[in-house]
């Protein structure tokens, strides 16, 4: 019998440590499926962050380098200089990218670095136990905003994708979600587009994934997906925020 579907060679067979209902596994898989489909697994160097996905390098079946908290874009910039013809990506959560690593991600975009960043936004610090992130929604409870995030105390949740899209060196920025099969298919298309634009050398590319953290949100997995649909998307709308002009893509 001819198989009609196989687990991607882009993932190792190591069981992930992610909590039930966490969407990291989906994000990992679609990124690695795209690399396999593009025939780039042997031509790719990835950078893992600090946070829940600190062990992404155990699951993603490509050469990987682990970065200090927030520094993945600087690490990827260094890798890119040594290997100008490889596919390079960073995988970063919201604490990593939107808080401690803001300097590194902003200036990677400013330099128009030719790597792709996959930004996992679940609005909370997962690994350290559910503290408030820069992307935690107003009113959302966390262990460091126990009465819910307040604008006057913590400011509004930061919109990193919109901010980065305003930088000339950013070629492509899209926000996707992992809450439904349709959105996951869209997310996979966005990943592919990011890699293709990277390979064309058009500039910095970023895909933001609206993700879940059932454990630290205190919600069952299905309710967590509903929370993304009903609350997170209202503040963080899906869609392409920036893309290259058609003539550049041609």
Q: Which of 126, 134, 176 is nearest to 154 (CA)?
A: 134
Of 25, 107, 221, 223, the one binding another protein (CB under 8 A) is 107
Please say which residue, 1 or 82, places its beta carbon nearer to another protein: 82
Give min distance, CB of 27 to another protein, in A. Answer: 19
Position 19 contacts another protein (CB under 8 A): no
99 binds another protein (CB under 8 A): no
- Binding of residue 76 to another protein (CB under 8 A): yes
Q: How far apart are CA 74 and CA 54, in angstroms?
A: 16
Q: Which of 6, 10, 5, 198 is nearest to 89 (CA)?
A: 198
- Say whether residue 74 binds another protein (CB under 8 A): yes
Radius of gyration of the chain (CA): 17
Contact criterion met (CB below 8 Å) for 138 and 149: yes
Part of the chain binding another protein (CB under 8 A), chosen from 61-69, 167-175, 191-199, 208-216: 61-69
- Which position among 11, 31, 34, 79 is part of the footprint of another protein (CB under 8 A)? 79
Residue 131's SS3 state is strand
The site for another protein, by CB under 8 A, has a size of 40
* Nearest to another protein of 78, 239 (CB atom): 78
Closest-CA residue to 43 (of 91, 83, 100):
83
- Measured between alpha carbons, how far apart are the two ends of the chain, in Å? 40
Binding site for another protein (CB under 8 A): 41-45, 47-48, 54-55, 57-58, 61-68, 71, 74-87, 103-104, 106-107, 110-111
């Amino acid at each position: 019998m001819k198989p009609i579907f196989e687990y991607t060679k882009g993932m190792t067979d190591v069981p992930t440590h992610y909590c039930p209902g966490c969407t990291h596994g989906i994000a990992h898989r679609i990124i690695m499926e795209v690399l396999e489909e593009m025939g780039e697994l042997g031509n790719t160097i990835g950078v893992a962050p600090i946070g829940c996905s600190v062990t992404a390098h155990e699951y993603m079946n490509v050469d990987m380098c682990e970065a200090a908290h927030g520094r993945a874009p600087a690490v990827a910039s260094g890798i890119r200089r040594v290997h100008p013809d490889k596919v390079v990506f960073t995988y970063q959560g919201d604490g990593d990218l939107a808080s401690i690593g803001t300097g590194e991600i902003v200036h990677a975009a400013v330099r128009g670095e030719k790597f792709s960043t996959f930004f996992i936004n679940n609005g909370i610090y997962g690994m350290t136990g559910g503290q408030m992130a820069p992307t935690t929604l107003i009113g959302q409870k966390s262990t460091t905003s126990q009465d819910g995030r307040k604008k006057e105390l913590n400011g509004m949740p930061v919109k990193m994708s919109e901010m980065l899209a305003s930088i000339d060196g950013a070629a492509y920025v899209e926000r996707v979600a992992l809450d439904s099969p349709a959105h996951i298919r869209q997310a996979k298309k966005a990943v592919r587009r990011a890699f293709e634009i990277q390979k064309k050398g058009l500039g910095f590319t970023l895909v933001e994934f609206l993700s879940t953290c059932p454990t630290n949100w205190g919600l069952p997995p299905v309710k967590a997906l509903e929370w993304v649909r009903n609350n997170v998307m209202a503040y963080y709308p899906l869609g392409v925020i920036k893309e290259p002009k058609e003539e550049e893509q041609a």
